[in-house]
Amino acid sequence: MSMARDWYRSFRRRMIRATRRPRVGAVNLGDLDRLTPVSRDWGFDRGQPIDRLYIERFVARHAKDISGHVLEVSNNDYTGRYGGARVTHSDILHPDDGNPRATVIADLAVPNAELEGRFDCIICTQTLQLIFDFQSAITQLHRWLKPGGVALVSVPGISQISREDMQQTGDYWRFTGAAVKRLFAEEFGEGAAEIEVLGNVLAATAFLQGIAAEEFDEAELFEADPQFQMLTTVRAVRQKVS
Ligand SMILES: C[S@@+](CC[C@H](N)C(=O)[O-])C[C@H]1O[C@@H](n2cnc3c(N)ncnc32)[C@H](O)[C@@H]1O
């Protein structure tokens, strides 16, 4: 009975929020009527940033792909958390010697014969936007996988700039689902990549402000509206015959 009541309340709230339109000049911006964001730290100081919730769910859904020899960018957090005992060897990629945890120093945008065909899985979350030649990076992702290997990738759409990455490597690009679909089809082949686009106007506004995922009803954050693309995820498989 109470579950039905909760569902009805949540449904009613969502219907009101989906259809109510303030008059011109009478929009109440409340706490968002400001020139600085609620959090400059993506929401980490309030809870989990909304893009991290999306990424975590994506990686968790494909946990079985995280097995054998796994390469992850910058750290091996997702490898450890979701790969567990399936992982036989975990490598961390960084483009220079500035990351003491890195075990593979290489630029993802530059061909590297030693790394070709080496990995069963590459976890490349929130990285392609930092690489000016992102097309070459997608080419290397494909080449560095073993045949049958899987790349788990995420890229930002509507998002603030990463100040830290802007200083270190540059923060160059934001992607739409349509672009990602074409880019991965060109490299991995038609049908080899599953693409999902996440976000809606509420999630995107909240994410820009740094309001954390816990501050919302999760179902609302996962109601995708293709007009407000916050994040695109890709699961791409290197075909065995390529
Ligand atoms: C925002 S982190 C992304 C990875 C992290 N695991 C995550 O999910 O947020 C940015 C990292 O991308 C990596 N990176 C940036 N440019 C790169 C390049 N050209 N080649 C390889 N790695 C690069 C660096 O290790 C940098 O720390």
With a 6 A CB cut-off, is 112 part of the ligand 1 pocket? no
Which of 166, 167, 169, 172 has most ligand 1 atoms within 8 Å of its beta carbon, as the pocket-test mutant? Answer: 169
For the CA of 125, the nearest atom of ligand 1: 8
With a 6 A CB cut-off, is 230 part of the ligand 1 pocket? no
Q: What is the mean pLDDT of the chain?
A: 96
Query: What pTM does this model have?
Result: 0.94
Instruction: Classify domain 39-237 at the CATH topology level.
Output: Rossmann fold (3.40.50)
* pLDDT of 1 strictly over 80: no
- Give a three-class secondary structure readout of 12-78: HHHHHHHHCCCCCCCCCCHHHCCCCCCCCCCCCCCCCCHHHHHHHHHHHHCHHHCCEEEEEECCCHH
- pLDDT tens digit sequence for 121-151: 999 999 999 999 999 999 999 999 999 999 9
- pLDDT tens digit sequence for 66-97: 999 999 999 999 999 999 999 999 999 999 99
* pLDDT of 161 strictly over 70: yes
Paired tokens of 237: 């498989």
Distance of CA 194 to the CA centre of its chain: 14
Paired tokens of 175: 């992607």
Q: Where are the domains of the chain?
A: 39-237
> Residue 140: its pLDDT value, please?
98
Paired tokens of 206: 């909240």
Banded model confidence at residue 101, pLDDT cuts 50, 70, 90: very high
- pLDDT tens digit sequence for 12-36: 877 777 788 889 999 999 999 999 9
> Residue 195: its pLDDT value, please?
98
